[in-house]
Amino acid sequence: MSNIKEIVVNITKKGDEHYLVFNFSEPVELSLKTKDNIAIQNIFSKLIKNLLEEKYTLKYEGDAMIEERLVKEVASKYVEQLDAELSSIMVDPNFEKLS
């Protein structure tokens, strides 16, 4: 695969909630606490839409200010699994890029 962009994913905390921040030109945030299936679907829809525009991989960089080790581990594994899923979509012959 050529010309694959790397999208950095950070974690941030707002109040008592942690968010993954996907640093596209327009950042996308996902609360790690959300159980709202519609909100999760909307996030994944945005990730797929961005993938249609440009191939990318995700790189988790975390945030030194987040002290909760378990939260960091969960976020890292989440991004790793999501990147694997998105990578499998990119190589799927039925997946077509928009022109």
How does pLDDT run across 3-38, given as a tens digit for each residue? 889 999 999 999 999 999 999 989 999 999 888 889
User: From residue 78, how far is each of 10, 32, 65, 97 by CA, in Å?
Assistant: 12, 10, 19, 25
* pLDDT single digits (tens) 53-74: 888 999 999 888 888 889 999 9
Tokens for 50? 């961005």
Question: 32: helix, coil or strand?
Answer: coil
pLDDT band at 2 (very low <50, low <70, confident <90, very high): low
Q: Mean pLDDT across the stretch 87-98? A: 75
pLDDT greater at residue 94 or residue 41: 41
98 has a pLDDT exceeding 70: no
How would you classify residue 6: left for phi > 0, otherwise alpha for psi between -120 and 50, otherwise beta? beta
Q: Model pTM? A: 0.83
CA 43/CA 58 separation, integer angstroms: 14
Closest CA to 65 of 12, 19, 9: 12
Question: 33, 18 in Cβ contact below 8 A?
Answer: yes
Tokens for 75? 């976020």
1 has a pLDDT exceeding 50: no
